[in-house]
């Protein structure tokens, strides 16, 4: 009998968030405004992949909760050497899902304004062909 196979798929994304601070002396992580966590479905301690649109750097870290309404996107610890205030970043969170979970999942996408307010919000649909497999 085959075991359940899980695959990493996009859970949510913050697109073009503006880095507001970069602090290499702070304990590692990315600090994200609590309102954006709630709107995207991200949670404290979730692992994220960050892509810096200015220099192409990609790095992984975990989420800290920032002050609600602050607009903070703070890159902390060693990762702060890969970004600077004003950089636009894409914050990606992935989840392990079965094919059945994938078929029902619609990743949340937040497109950010320069001040880290939400310009647009939508959900991706699963691939209808792949979602029907299994």
Domain boundaries, the chain: 7-131
Instruction: Determine whether 36 is exposed, middle or buried from the number of CB atoms within 10 Å of its CB (0-12, 13-18, 19+).
Output: buried
- Contact present, 84 and 53 (Cβ < 8 Å): no
* C-alpha 41, offset from chain centre: 9
Contact of 24 with 80, CB cutoff 8 Å? yes
**Mean per-residue pLDDT of the chain:** 93
Other C-beta atoms closer than 10 Å to the C-beta of 122 total 11
* Separation of alpha carbons 106 and 53, rounded Å: 24
DSSP 28: S
Residue 4 has a pLDDT of: 86
What's residue 29's pLDDT? 93
Per the CB < 8 A criterion, the answer to whether 82 and 59 are in contact is yes
Catalytic residue among 11, 29, 40, 102: 29
The pLDDT, as a whole number, for residue 127 is 79
> pLDDT for 49-104, tens place per residue?
999 999 999 999 999 999 999 999 999 999 999 999 999 999 999 999 998 999 99
Q: Are 77 and 27 in contact (CB under 8 A)?
A: yes
Catalytic-role residue among 11, 26, 40, 62 = 62
Please give the full DSSP string across 66-78, using - where no structure is assigned. Answer: EPTTS--EEEEGG
What percentage of the chain carries pLDDT values higher than 90? 86
CATH architecture of residue range(s) 7-131: Beta Barrel (2.40)
Question: Is 29 part of the annotated catalytic residue set?
Answer: yes
């Amino acid at each position: 009998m085959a075991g359940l196979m899980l695959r990493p798929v996009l859970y949510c994304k913050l697109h073009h968030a503006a880095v507001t601070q970069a602090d290499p002396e702070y304990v590692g992580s990315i600090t994200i405004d609590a309102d954006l966590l709630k709107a995207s479905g991200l949670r404290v301690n979730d692992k994220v992949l960050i892509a810096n649109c200015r220099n192409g750097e990609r790095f992984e870290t975990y989420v800290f909760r920032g002050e609600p309404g602050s607009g903070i996107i703070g890159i902390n610890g060693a990762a702060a050497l890969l970004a600077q205030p004003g950089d636009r970043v894409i914050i990606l969170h992935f989840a392990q899902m079965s094919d059945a979970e994938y078929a029902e999942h619609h990743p949340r996408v937040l497109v950010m304004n320069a001040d880290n307010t939400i310009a647009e919000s939508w959900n991706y649909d699963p691939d209808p062909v792949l979602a029907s497999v299994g």
